Amino acid sequence: MYPENYRYTKEHEWVSVEGDVGTMGITFHAQKELGDIVYVDLPKAGATLEQGKPLGSVESVKAVSDIYAPVSGVVVEVNESLARSPEKLNEDPHGAAWLVKIRLSDSSQVNQLMPAAEYQSYIGE
């Protein structure tokens, strides 16, 4: 369920790093708690993110939840397909429904995040 090579935040985001670029999204647990996701508000490419600060939000029919940056850096790519198909976030949150790709400004931040096993015990699974 939770890929071993991802790292996880307490706010239920994941990040997967290749080189100096991290791909991030929200976790399976997060989408389950939110229910049917109807809209995603994401930053534009070029935006500067700070670890732990909101980068956007996801909406269900009756709730809005902030998404927090798992790491600091600059947005290099945004998953535009989510604007048309927000349901992908319910269907494949760890894969096709990644949110943004971030060029990391401090790769050591990744090590502060939880590995899969720790995250799973954090959410009680």
Q: Which amino acid is at 95?
A: G
Name which of 64 and 117 has its Cβ closer to other proteins: 64
> Is the CB of 4 or the CB of 62 nearer to other proteins?
62
Residue 36: count of CB within 10 angstroms of its CB: 12
**Among candidates 99, 60, 58, which has minimal Cα distance to 80?**
99
Annotate each residue in 3-42 with x if it binds other proteins (CB under 8 A) or - if it does not, as one string.
---------------------------------x-xx---
Rg over CA atoms, the chain: 13
Q: Which of 3, 53, 81, 87 binds other proteins (CB under 8 A)?
A: 87
